Amino acid sequence: MSTNISKQHREELLGKIQQIRSYIAAAPQDSNTGNLLQYLDELNKEVNGKKYGLVFEHHREAIDKILETHTPVLTEQPDLFIDNGGEMNFLIEGDNLAALQLLEKTHKDNIDLIYIDPPYNTGSNDFQYDDNYVNKDDLFIHSKWLSFMEPRLKKAANLLKDSGCILISINENEVFGLKLLCDEIFGTENYLTTFAVKVRHENRILKGDKDFHEVFEYLLFYRKSTKHKTSKRTFDNTSNDEYVWELCELETPSETLNFGNKKVEVFQPHQYILKKGEPSISRFKRISIRGSIKEGNSSGRFFMKYLNQYIGEKLGYVYKVENMGDDGVGYRYFIIPDKRKRKNGDYLQGVPQMRSDIKEVPYANFLDFEQSFNNVGYEGDIEFRNGKKPIAFLQHCFDMGGLSKGRKNVLDFFAGSGSTGHALLGYNVNKTTKHKFILCTNNENNICRDVTYERLKTVITGKRRDGSEYNEHYNASLKYFKIDFVPISEKLYYEYADELLLHIRELVELENGINFNGNNKIAIVLTDEEMEQFVAKSENSAKILYRGHDVLLSAEQEKYLKAKGIQVNVIPDYYYNELNR
């Protein structure tokens, strides 16, 4: 039987603390003995603290100190508003911890998918903590990064719907600590998988100061709860010898071939629908590129070898062949699977398998992100190569996260150059969906204003900054908000409530994904005069009214609102009730 030495040592320390406590308790009591007993309580708590899991030195950021004495607010930059129809999206400039605190007021339990690509903390000026870059010589390099990530991920968890999920790109520097941190925040039972994403080829000639150069990054995948449903197509476990295909409801074949007495109907990729039901899986066989099949008589093997010589490597095609089975059905379906992609949820090929294939090519299938990682510098006409993720890779993440249908909210609070927003706009077109994004980023080196915003503006409007044409043009709108701070230290709530009111419109628009101008379903009144004008309208179709805290309703106005069934939210209490205590 093993002995827990750490437990024994802990119990010995607690015993010594108790002896000291008994001695002090027996002595004459004064303020000093009271303080000593309090210190012993703190020591007792520390000894009984966390014994397994992620342990690190906690650090405070400058933003932590600001948020203790200020509350964040949003201010719209109206000259940057893009009105191009479609869904309303939002870009927030400022510290993402403050942005997440605001989003807890507007989007708690209301985000469907979060994707983030945080700083990788390589020690090479990629992670800034308290206005200073953390370098490799910093003794607390990992603790500072975890201290930075922990509060942000906790708030992210509060924002997710029960059916939501989060995907986090990371490299080898922090992947192991991040995994433990996410296990604590989201729960080990909600861990889905860690994808290895091959982002560069092995170096044949070693360069630099490393004997071994990493070629993989990682993608951590967590759900909020068991209500999240993953994509079965992505996570079907398949062996090397057989692919699982369910009932095919085929459309008209693109081609019909005749081989002797056998008729072969050819269906192109995406020309068939995989459904659950009969016939049994045994009728769906895998053909290897070399031309052998796992089952069938010798004549069948000969036929398939002959057929393969004709079709070559038409991956993903379905072939319906007559007179192939002895089960009375009279035909079988065959498919040549695309072996370049694995579907068992642990590996993603982010670069071409062959180095010679690296080149800029158009994507016939937006889920194919091979070659993308080598071409991110050319994507979106935006010069932001360092750390930018390919659009096709992000769209694949959306698919895995369950965005293929409906109208959902996507958040990225490490937005960088805006790849997530760009990818979602294209995804909506390809999938005929109406998802909306919220992007948050700081404005270090003017990245939010000059890079993120300009990229989104370019792909939405189809016009570059210089006025030239761009090849994308999306039906979408964008609001640009900037984070400011209202001082609250040593003030009573009513002393700054009016100042909060000046920034309420932005929160209402963010929560509801709207622009107040031209919206007749949601109204806001901040003065008694505006309330009178609202009630006096001959036709009023508003369903929700946001009312300023000092707007007093008359009996007639209350009766009117009740008769109309209008929901009334008192502001700023609606968003800042935790301050009114």
Beta bridge partners of 571: 548
pLDDT of residue 374: 46
At residue 350 the predicted structure's pLDDT band, cuts being 50, 70 and 90, is low
At 327, the pLDDT band (50, 70, 90 cuts) reads low
Short-list 221, 214, 70, 57, CA closest to 150:
57
| Interatomic CA distance for residues 555 and 532, integer angstroms | 12
The pLDDT score that the predictor gives to residue 493 is 83
Summarize pLDDT for 425-438 with one digit per residue, the tens: 999 998 889 999 99
Quick: pLDDT tens for 549-580.
889 999 999 999 999 999 999 998 899 988 87
Residue 516, burial from CB neighbour count under 10 angstroms (0-12, 13-18, 19+): middle
Greater confidence (373 vs 292) lies with 373
Per-residue confidence (pLDDT) for residue 516, from 0 to 100: 87
- Residues contacting residue 473 through CB under 8 Å, at least 6 positions apart: 459, 460, 461, 462
pLDDT digits (tens, 9 = 90+) for 260-315: 667 788 776 655 554 444 333 334 444 333 333 333 334 555 555 556 555 555 65
Each residue's pLDDT tens digit, 212-226: 677 788 999 999 999
Lowest mean pLDDT across 211-215, 256-260, 364-368, 526-530: 364-368
Closest CA to 544 of 564, 573, 559, 517: 564
What pLDDT does 182 receive? 96
Ranking 69-78, 135-144, 268-277, 531-540 by mean pLDDT, the lowest is 268-277
> Residue 195 pLDDT more than 50?
yes
- pLDDT for the residue numbered 162: 95
Range from 88-102, 194-208, 526-540, 566-580 that averages highest in pLDDT: 88-102
* Phi, psi of 426, rounded to the nearest 5 degrees: -70, -35
Check: CB of residue 470 under 8 Å from CB of residue 432: no
- Pairing of β 216-223 and β 160-170: antiparallel
Answer whether residue 17 shows pLDDT above 50.
yes
* Residue 180, SS3 per DSSP: helix
296 torsion bin: left (phi>0), alpha (psi -120 to 50), beta (else) = left
Give mean pLDDT, residues 478-504. 92
| Mean pLDDT of the residues in the chain | 78
**Residue whose C-alpha is closest to residue 519's, from 537, 502, 544, 551:** 544
Please determine, for residue 152, whether its predicted confidence score (pLDDT) is greater than 90.
yes
**Selected residue with higher pLDDT from 248 and 569:** 569
- Whole-angstrom distance, CA of residue 66 vs CA of residue 79: 28
- Mean pLDDT along residues 99-108: 97
159 within 8 A of 153, measured Cβ to Cβ = no
CB 254 within 8 A of CB 316: no
Q: Are residues 505 and 572 in contact, defined by beta-carbon separation less than 8 angstroms? A: no
What residue ranges in 444-521 does DSSP mark as E strands?
476-487
Give percent above pLDDT 70 in the chain.
70
Whether 118 shows a pLDDT value over 80: the answer reads yes
| Phi/psi of residue 151, nearest 5 degrees | -65, -30
- Mean pLDDT confidence for 43-70: 82
DSSP tally for the chain: helices H, then strands E: 17, 22
What does pTM read for this prediction? 0.74
Of residues 122 and 581, the one with the higher pLDDT is 122
> Furthest-apart CA pair in the chain: how many Å?
108
Which residue in this structure is represented by tokens 């939210």? Answer: 569
